[in-house]
Structure 1
Amino acid sequence: MTQLLTAFLTGFGLSAALIMAIGAQNLFVLRQGLRREHVGPIVLFCGSADALLILIGVGGVGALIGAAPGLTLLLSLGGAAFLGWYGVAALRRLAAPATGVTVTAAGGVTLRRALAATAAFTFLNPHVYLDTVLLMGTAGSAQPADVRPAFVLGATLASFAWFAGLGYGARLLQPLFRRPLAWRLLDLAIGMIMLTLAASLVASVVGRDG
């Protein structure tokens, strides 16, 4: 029982530490939470994707992905292109600050488009694979075989708890985001972070090739 609890807490703590870093996926979930647009499906998608990738990593596939530089290159370039596009789109919204000011309004993005964007932020980000498949997979594989399910359960619960807290907790900031300036500042931060992440991905590719 002690080993199961230790494995569970290890998975929960490691997953929480990795997932709380500010990134493209977290910013997208936060923005959708502020707008109250499709929060439940987005949270479910993000948590389920993490659970799947962690399972794959603990199952040993992480080593195969780590040994496939071509796949890493494609993910990096695809992720950089998507992040760059989304960053530019966020900065363009600065010219129309009235859009999205009413945080309780719905219908700005269809469920299909919201989930497509969530999937892109999730699966086109090489850091997602580094965190879940490689790092979590390595840590999980190091656990005794009989307690690995507890490790995966802890890691998965941390992911769902974080995304649920981020998506549904965002409404606590709604009084602040009734001001157009707050939305402009958020879009400015999102745009700059997305472009920075895109540049870092391109730089990592150039650095590897060099």
Structure 2
Amino acid sequence: MGIDNRFKFAIPIYGAGYVTEADTYMGISDTDKEAFVRNNYDGRTYFKNVTYPTFWVNGTNDAHFPMTMTNQSCAEMKVPSKIRYDVRMAHGENIPMKLNEIYTFADYVLMGGDALTTFDTPKINGNIASVTYKSKYKISSAQLCYTLDNGTWNVRNWNTTSATVSGNTISANIPIGAKTIYFNATDSRGLMTTSVYRSRLSFNKQ
């Protein structure tokens, strides 16, 4: 991505940029090595050059690519991006192949199909979280996904609670003690996408 712009779209699954900052074995603590990898090999160096739509797919507890990497990579995009965070999605080659959202996104770009639901950045007001969305299809269900844990991302426990859909806004009460939250929404086709996540440190930054 960002090196060869002949592609029509990209769907990064698990992997992302900011690999050197991973809190698993892929992270690099040596400053000189980290700088070399970041400046020459890491995706973040090239994301600014991407000219095509992207769809980022990851799980909340992936052992190799924590959500921080996906969130930061998506933020680097200067082109339309969508995200799908799946609670506790396992890591493996066959698992993403079963996600209909991937093929719908490809059809949308290549064949003019209908788009997946798009989210703005969630907003926090007291103990209420909300997010606006765009979808051609009715939202059949929505959830606030949250974790009460800090520390290493792949061992955090994630939970879900029902969210309310009103017009083009989804909202929910933030459970007491939640450290990180994001929304998901499933449309009438049974296709799910999510918002970026918000962490407690950023709750006051609207």
- TM-score normalised by L of structure 2: 0.20
Higher helix share: 1
State the structure with bigger RCO (CA 8 A, min sep 6), 1 or 2.
Answer: 1
Q: Which one has the largest radius of gyration?
A: 1
Higher strand share: 2
